Structure 1
Amino acid sequence: MAGQQAVWESRLDSVVVHAVGAVCRRRTAGVVPADGRVRVAGLPRLAAAGSLRVRVVSGGARVAEARLEPVEELRAEDGRPGWERELAELAAERDRLTERHRRLEERIAEVAGLRPVPPPRREDGGLRRAPADAVLALAEFVDARLAVLQERAVELAQRVREAEHAFEVAFAAAQRRSSAERPGGVESAARAVLSVRGEGPVELEVEYAVPGAVWVPTYRLAHRRGERSASLVLRASVAQRTGEDWSGVRLALSTADLTRSNALPKLGSLRIGRRQEPVAPSGWRAQPAGLDELFGGWQDAQSARPAPREVRESLAVPVSAAGGGAPGPQPKPHPHPQPQARPAAKRARIGGAPPAPGLAPQGPAGPPSFAGPPPLPPMASMPASMPAPVPPPAPMAYGAAAPAAFLADEAHRGAPAPEPSEPSEPAGPLPSEDQLDYPAMVLAGPEEASFRRGRLFPEPVRPGGGGGGAALREAEAVGLLPLPRFGAPPRLSAGSFDHRYDAAAPADIPSDGVWHTVAVAELTVGAASSYVCVPSVEEAVYGVLELSNATPHALLAGPVEVSVDGDFLLTAGLPTLAPGGVRELGLGRAEELRVARHTELRESTSGVLKSTTVLDHGVRIELVNRLPHEASVEVRERVPVSADPEVRIEERPGWSPPREPSAEVPASARLRRVVVPPGGTVEVTGGYVVHIPAGRAVVGGNRRS
């Protein structure tokens, strides 16, 4: 009995958050009962059934079977969460005050509608004087009463606004609350039902996967000017709504895809020669003979059971006059016409022999089934030019029987299959991967279609899984959270490799679906501060921090908070940095460094027979350092590139081309590194000379810098 089975409580020990989803591990311990049946409680309702794994940590026992079991328990009135009771009380108070205010408004309208009504005038009577004192008394009464009611209405309206505000605040807080405390009178959870073989005390580790968890990397960089290293704190922004709070767990972060299959691919062989039958995969067995006879008695009992009145009327057939009976009323058209039965010889089965004689139906077997898709109309009612429709393909399964059209190739599945001959041993198609996954298959019962009864089929995917559609949609909404600035999904920034990061300390992350920052590790990276300026584009100097990753961990792309000499500088985007890689991180404009660029152009002519125009471009760059330490500045200039071999360009020495040209630093750029002393000034000269033959000169265009 279920009540006699041992129930062991469990505690959450570790969590590995993947790119989407998480893998949780729980620890439990106890003494193995005599029957070996154990239930491990504490699992969330969103735990995936196919991901359940159990490992024996200590003790002489082994686990023979493990499966998930949903649990629905009724809560006591005092067992509901406190915030739910508070929210219900605030809603009741708001409704009560709103109703009082509505009744008071009606009372004010009634009092304001009071008017003096004169008595009816008699025919033989004369004019009567109006009692002025009574009219004035009524007006005074109405004014006094309205003043009291209006004052009370103003006070009550203020209380209604306060009650509505309190309810909205509590409702917003409830929306941000952890999903581990679900409202309502029913508490949903899951249990792991285990079959343990062994005796004595044993400690188990239960592993399962849950959706609704994401993470992105973030960093904090602290650097001291003049030092060759920096402290980089690797942090992670984690959001989860898995239905359970992670309190004091060992947290790990992975870039791997939790839903990606890690099975080895099966490579098919190409053979030249005579065609050979494909080898049946391991574990495939043909269906037992006479399987349809197993449900013969149940089908006869269903046929003998009287149908409801509505079904009898819809299936009523008028008696022919030739049969001697009176013609009955015309039947109501049935929404699902009955298909004509196909001959038994034209029905093919997968992995089994054809049905025995006498078992094949010769006509309509009864009312159509309302559980599956509606059957097709009779073939005789279709035009001759229209091809015969093919029934919708049902999922193929172990030992399943199907119409012959299902045996066609995938490319010709939509066309009707040719009528097969009657071989002595018909061969069935090869099963797919989901048909060989026996733990994920279910046995079709007698209420299914005739070709499904008693056979294994892949279990259909139910929307919402074990936790319901609303809970699953709520968990998957975590993946739609806006990322932090400069943030990138770890699956994209990791590239073709997967990385894992283990947190140094236990972490607490509630199941509220918002970002929580967790410190993972502190790393030491190489850092060299330098400066870059391109005075021909902008007379400004920018700080650059050259980071080198000497750690065994890859640094994924994400936002980094940079602080220099203890002062926060800015938040920048750190690019992905592989182990041993070197990248530059921009630090913004350095106001302590100034740069000025001066140019000079001199034009002359050389040669006697062949006149050549000489354009001498001189560049003088002045750098000023107001920092208390020296600054290494990389000055970038540019030189023209000629596509004409007769036009020569001579460069002044001291400048070097880039080692690896790129879009930011093209091949025409020239670089020169200068060290500026603290509080000093350095002047850099450069330039180039262009020699243009007379026949290649452009009139009025040679003097442009």
Structure 2
Amino acid sequence: MPNITQLASKIDKVKVYAAGATVSRIADLHLENGETPEQIEISGLPLALDDSSVRVQVEGNANPVIPTDIRISLAVSSSQEPPNFPAEEQLHQAKAEVRRIQETIALIDNEISVLKQLHVPNQPEAEPGKAPPPSPLAARLAIANFQDEQIRSRIQERREIQNSLQEANTHLDELLHKQKLASTAQQVKPHELRKTVIISLSYPAEVTVSQQRLIVEYFVPGARWTPTYLCRLESSTNTAAIAVRAFLCQRTGEDWSGVRLELSTANPMTWCELPELPSLRLGRTQPVPRKSGWRLPPVGAT
């Protein structure tokens, strides 16, 4: 049974084409005296990668290890580490808090509208031929003071709750932003398959303690980029500046956060014929031999 050692890898560089991308993963291979694994396994690779595009290279200072064979297989992914972004429960609570504050503000606005519709009765009119009745001035002033006081208190309360709503919206936006930027990797379910690369290694005659780096490169679809152009005109100097930008999208199921990106306009899967190079002779110039005009007579010409 061969000695298979699993190595943890991370994406170091991605080269994006008009359709698809080439991903380079790196893994640290630490060799010690007496510990020489025969095979190395890199797991957790996307299921859609092109098997024929897998390339392996080992970089080391002295006596580098030589990969001799590559085998692609399927395996059930192990449990992943918990993602480093807010849980759904936190987002649900933040959204519920925003809705609660918005409903409270709507209720206060409704109360202010009802208080503004509160009508203070006018002074009673006198009947013809009779003295005017006494005016309930105290009651009218009490109603007007009550209306004004309640409206002012509602406006003050609404102002304070509006500040709370702003803080709740800011907290919700921060959670959403953290969730968006934390990871673009697709969380693998326990029953889902992923591809794994098993690499056979050949060691030099003398293996010393060394730290070498294993590079695995493969092509995966599900990514693309498109250019866009931006032109800025300066009327004061009659000049124009043109900038080129790129829009990039990917659904490979891997996390590309913090990796080096390269853009290419080439087609990575196009077949190219190698050119035939003419031979060159080095030395003294030789005369071109003349072709003889004599030919053998045809058979049966006697």
TM-score by length of 1: 0.24
- Which structure has more helix as a fraction of its residues? 2
The TM-score, its normalising length taken from structure 2, stands at 0.48
Relative contact order, higher structure (CA 8 A, sep 6+): 2
Q: Which has the larger radius of gyration?
A: 1
